[in-house]
Amino acid sequence: MTKDECKKVVIDIIADIAPDEDLSTLKPDVRLRDQLQLDSMDFLDIVMELRKRHSIEVPEADYIQLASLDSCANYLTPKFNALSAKS
């Protein structure tokens, strides 16, 4: 998985979590919270959906890695690739 593909996965999840938001202009290097109406429960949703849909675990200490699309991609892409290498 490339980082761009990983961002697409995250955007797909956010589209379900924040269905009223326009995601077409999301800036990858800006904190998601600064661009979208997302609260702490929404971030828990992102963690839950990564777990449910992709079997990806994000420990609480790493939640900060989900701050922006870029940081999501940096943090999650190796996890996705490690998972696909296993399977």
If the CB atoms of residues 49 and 73 are measured against another protein, the closer one turns out to be 49
Does residue 18 bind another protein (CB under 8 A)?
yes
Rounded to a whole number of angstroms, the minimum distance from the CB of residue 24 to another protein is 16
CB 26 within 8 A of CB 11: yes
To the nearest whole angstrom, how small is the minimum distance from the Cβ of residue 20 to another protein?
A: 5
Question: Is position 20 an interface residue for another protein (rule: CB under 8 A)?
Answer: yes
Residue span binding another protein (CB under 8 A) among the ranges 4-12, 13-21, 22-30, 66-74: 13-21
